[in-house]
Amino acid sequence: MVLDQFHSLAVLPADAVFDVRLRYMKDDRGCKVDLGIGAYRDNNGKPWVLPSVKLAEDRVRSDENYDHEYLGISGFQPLTTAAVRVLLGEGSQALDEDRVVSVQSLSGTGALHLAMRLLLATLPKSLVYFSSPTWANHYALSKTQGLETATYPYWDSITKSIDIEGFLKAINDAPSGSVFVLHACAHNPTGMDPTAEQWDMILDAIASKGHVALFDVAYQGFATGDLDRDAFAVRLGLKKLAHNTPVLICQSFAKNVGIYGERVGVFHIVVPRQDPADVAKLKMALLSQLNLITRSEVSNPPAYGAKVVAKVLNTPELTKQWHQDMLTMSNRIKKMRHVLHDKLVEFQTPGNWDHIIRQCGMFSFTGLTKEMVERMEKEHAVYLVSSGRISIAGLNDKNVEHVAKAIDSVVRHFASSKL
């Protein structure tokens, strides 16, 4: 009987991104290229430990108080208080008015998990809207909590741009009090962000319908190379939304500090302006709820990465170096976009490839079909996820020609003129 229950479990599909990585690692072809996972690689195709992080690690380890004690349940305060400033900026009204609750999380995924748990406790009947397409893990994160999901149109595959009309219509048609998950910048997987004017319309529509905005901030700094500019949507959102509804913000340092496996993130809730006593009461309730979730699931967040990131954020010369590191990464990615685009133009690969240079951040949504992606892997040892998303960070001077030739070859093979 008991064993039957265990046997009744279905085998679930493997996670797409990590599965690509596994297949790539098993491949012994010398020309193989990994464009799957969204992780920065240097021009030699190697993971890059940021110079600012190396310096911070030295300082953390040589501190006379260095130890491996538990953190408090809501995390390392020097991290959470510095992290919110990176997001909201120095002149933030919400910070001046002490309206933000911040707790450390297991990177962006952990912050999203806390957000979903909180939504389950507060708005269990609300629909959670994701962009179509979105990061696949968004669905797993909400569905495992039993939340109902819906999509809003985002990517127009014909024009290779944002379907702003569809997006706005979905906001207006959604039942009031729905949750809209917004990629703050460097949209994953399309690499296409709304313009400032489009953000204005999107956030106005969300505010006027009384929806909740949940910002997923996994790539701050990757869209423009500038952390403040990449926080534009979040900061505008707070101006427009934080009068009526709490705003949820999931912040990851995996990519922009390059500290992927250390799992450093922060979950913030900005509560609306109201009587200061009500603000304080609400903040206390939120903090206690989040602490209970953290305590029961991970006890307390991991310390090492948190101390390293806090050191980067709280030491002026390291912060300066970090901003430089961010530019190093984003400029190399931008350069690779142009090289790939120019090669495809040079090869006269059927279709128009301008979207590769119109997109931003770590990814390009190439428009390659699932069949083309399969052929890229099988015939050319170029690995990417089946949606046709490539991680531009996986390109470098040595492999970009091979990738461009592979794209050219698969596109011609399927004789597609639709790209």
Give residue number: closest CB to ligand LMR. 38
Q: Residues 292, 294, 297, CA angle at the centre, nearest 5°?
A: 105
CB of 227 within 8 A of CB of 80?
no
Token pair 């427009």 in the structure block, residue: 240
Binding residue for ligand LMR, selected from 129, 135, 215, 383, defined by CB under 6 A: 135
Give me the least distance between CB of 218 and ligand LMR, in Å please.
6
392 makes contact with ligand LMR (CB under 6 A):
no
CB of 80 within 8 A of CB of 102?
yes
Binding residue for ligand LMR, selected from 92, 134, 188, 294, defined by CB under 6 A: 188
* Residue type present at position 398: K
Rounded to whole angstroms, the Cα distance separating 168 from 120 reads 25
Return phi, psi of residue 300, to 5°. Answer: -155, 155
Q: Which residues are catalytic?
A: 135, 216, 255
Rounded to whole angstroms, the Cα distance separating 198 from 201 reads 5
Give me the least distance between CB of 363 and ligand LMR, in Å please.
8
37 makes contact with ligand LMR (CB under 6 A):
yes
The token duo for 271 is 């509560």
Give me the least distance between CB of 265 and ligand LMR, in Å please.
12
333 makes contact with ligand LMR (CB under 6 A):
no
Beta carbon nearer to ligand LMR, 25 or 292:
25
User: How many residues in the shown chain lie near ligand LMR by CB under 6 A?
Assistant: 6
Binding residue for ligand LMR, selected from 24, 34, 38, 372, defined by CB under 6 A: 38
Beta carbon nearer to ligand LMR, 110 or 246:
110
Question: Which residues are paired to 34 by β-bridges?
Answer: 383
The dihedral of CA 132, 182, 21, 156: what is its sign? Answer: positive
Give me the least distance between CB of 107 and ligand LMR, in Å please.
9
17 makes contact with ligand LMR (CB under 6 A):
yes
Beta carbon nearer to ligand LMR, 20 or 179:
20
Q: DSSP string of 65-102? A: T---PPPPTT--HHHHHHHHHHHH-TT-HHHHTT-EEE
| Binding region for ligand LMR (CB under 6 A) | 17, 37-38, 135, 137, 188
